[in-house]
């Protein structure tokens, strides 16, 4: 059986599936339930001292949208959007001292870890909250920078989130890293210009890792009523966002080599494998647990294990970054590949019933003839569109002579 354990920033996790900071980690009951269901770690919902974000959570709103961005009731398809608005933990941060202690004790007894997650209203409170969390014995600390700058940095903020600015990210990361001994993970926002540059700033300031990444903010309208769903902008995410997240996982893994927790777009164990291959060492999952329940975790973990066993991967390191390392670093490298030309297996081709390739070829190569598709091979640039979409699997590409 494959060894699913993974070293992440010097902390040993029994498997790569961690519960992300959100509603499934907002109480003793839920955190213990995540641990009971096999999570190797639980990042607690953000603890902070910003009153507006505490209030926001009391007014949380959630909906599941389908691929037409309409609310779904009942069975959820894989192509869902989780649409939601919530803030951070509503209680005073000090009320979380006994909760963190109790849940971390429970986690360690059960081979798991509690990871703190804090946000400060001022630079001083970032430090205070980080120390408070560390003193409760948690294994790691994540910092959540997805909101306005504290007053001390307001002149630099220019209306953007802390997580959108490398300098503000570095400043807060440095203060937190200096204040605690446990590894610090910086949670990146997908709404930054370059997540790699934010990660670089965090790394330079001493962060042990980055979480790539939290969610986008979106807007969806009910066109029957002309009103926005949930009353206004809300967070969006779902399995469709995975390639966007993985783009940054791959880039940060390749350029900075720092340990990454992948988050945003993970539905099942196969997604987790894809994140591992792209350069994440652990995964943080949220939306799917809010839709399927915390009981979804064992299934996900089992899927990872079964995939590793059936494909002969003995341990997490044998998967880690294997796809990222095969990605061409530049367009010049991609262009070194041999030139290709299209060919059709006439026995498989269903023309004239199907003429998909003639409609999709924008290089005037695939031409509808009387009885068959005619190919003007000298015009083919080997783009793969016809091969990748042919419903009859009749098209292949070969190196040019």
Ligand X SMILES: Cc1cc2nc3c(=O)[nH]c(=O)nc-3n(C[C@H](O)[C@H](O)[C@H](O)COP(=O)(O)O)c2cc1C
Kindly list the residues in this chain that would bind ligand X in the complex (CB under 6 A): 20-23, 45-46, 82, 84, 86, 88, 117, 144, 187, 214-215, 235, 237, 263-266, 284-288
Identity of the residue, 292 or 325, whose beta carbon is nearer to ligand X in the bound complex? 292
Closest approach of ligand X to the CB of residue 68, in Å = 20
Closest approach of ligand X to the CB of residue 91, in Å = 13
Closest approach of ligand X to the CB of residue 398, in Å = 40
- HEC string of 287-349 equals HHHHHHCCCHHHHHHHHHHHHHHHHCCCEHHHCCCCCHHHCCCCHHHHHCCCCEEEEECCCCC
Closest approach of ligand X to the CB of residue 235, in Å = 6
Whole-number Å distance between alpha carbons of 245 and 358: 34
**Are 63 and 18 within 8 A, CB to CB?**
no
In angstroms, how far is the first alpha carbon of the chain from the final one?
46
Whole-number Å distance between alpha carbons of 253 and 196: 9
Identity of the residue, 25 or 358, whose beta carbon is nearer to ligand X in the bound complex? 25
Closest approach of ligand X to the CB of residue 297, in Å = 12
Identity of the residue, 27 or 355, whose beta carbon is nearer to ligand X in the bound complex? 27
Backbone φ, ψ for residue 189 (5° rounding): -105, 140
Identity of the residue, 133 or 358, whose beta carbon is nearer to ligand X in the bound complex? 133
**Are 133 and 179 within 8 A, CB to CB?**
no
Closest approach of ligand X to the CB of residue 317, in Å = 24
Return the exposure string of 22-61: e unless at least 16 CB atoms fall within 10 Å of the residue's CB, then b: bbbbbbeebbbbbbebbbbbbbbbbbbbbeebbeebeeee
Closest approach of ligand X to the CB of residue 84, in Å = 4
Identity of the residue, 127 or 288, whose beta carbon is nearer to ligand X in the bound complex? 288
CA distances from 280 to 130, 210, 254, 305 (A): 24, 10, 11, 16
Closest approach of ligand X to the CB of residue 92, in Å = 16
Identity of the residue, 209 or 263, whose beta carbon is nearer to ligand X in the bound complex? 263
**Are 126 and 143 within 8 A, CB to CB?**
yes
Whole-number Å distance between alpha carbons of 213 and 284: 9
CA distances from 37 to 26, 43, 103, 197, 340 (A): 16, 15, 14, 36, 49
HSE value, Cβ hemisphere, 13 Å, CA-based, for 131: 9
């Amino acid at each position: 059986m494959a060894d699913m354990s993974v070293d992440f920033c010097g902390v040993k996790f029994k498997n790569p599936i961690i519960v992300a900071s959100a509603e499934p980690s907002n109480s003793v009951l839920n955190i213990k339930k995540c641990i009971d269901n096999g999570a190797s770690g639980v990042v607690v919902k953000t603890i902070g001292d910003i009153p507006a974000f505490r209030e926001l959570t009391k007014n949380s709103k959630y909906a599941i949208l389908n691929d037409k961005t309409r609310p779904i009731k009942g069975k959820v398809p894989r192509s869902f959007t989780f649409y939601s608005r919530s803030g951070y933990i509503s209680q005073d941060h000090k009320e979380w001292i006994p909760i963190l202690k109790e849940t971390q004790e429970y986690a360690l007894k059960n081979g798991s870890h509690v990871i703190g997650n804090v946000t400060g209203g001022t630079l001083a409170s970032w430090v205070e909250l980080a120390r408070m969390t560390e003193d409760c014995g948690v294994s790691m600390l994540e910092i959540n920078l997805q909101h306005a700058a504290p007053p001390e940095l307001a002149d630099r903020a220019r209306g953007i989130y802390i997580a959108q600015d490398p300098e503000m990210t570095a400043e807060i990361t440095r203060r937190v890293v200096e204040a605690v001994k446990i590894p610090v993970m910086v949670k990146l926002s997908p709404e930054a210009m370059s997540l790699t540059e934010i990660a670089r700033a965090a790394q330079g300031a001493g962060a042990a890792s980055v979480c790539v990444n939290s969610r986008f903010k979106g807007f969806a309208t009910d066109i029957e009523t002309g009103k926005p769903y949930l009353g206004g902008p809300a967070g969006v995410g779902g399995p469709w966002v995975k390639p966007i997240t993985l783009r940054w996982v791959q880039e940060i893994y390749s350029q900075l080599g720092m340990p990454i927790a992948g988050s945003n777009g993970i539905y099942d164990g196969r997604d987790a494998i894809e994140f591992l291959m792209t350069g994440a060492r652990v995964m943080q999952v949220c939306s799917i647990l809010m839709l399927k329940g915390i009981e979804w975790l064992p299934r996900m973990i089992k899927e990872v294990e079964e995939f590793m066993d059936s494909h002969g991967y003995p341990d997490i390191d044998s998967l880690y970054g294997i796809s990222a390392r095969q990605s061409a670093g530049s367009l010049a490298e991609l262009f070194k590949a041999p030139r290709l030309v299209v060919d059709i297996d006439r026995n498989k081709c269903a023309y004239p019933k199907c003429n998909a390739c003639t409609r999709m070829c924008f290089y005037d190569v695939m031409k509808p003839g009387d009885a068959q598709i005619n190919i003007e091979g000298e015009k083919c640039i080997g783009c793969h569109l016809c091969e990748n979409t042919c419903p009859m699997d009749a098209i292949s590409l070969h190196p040019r002579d």
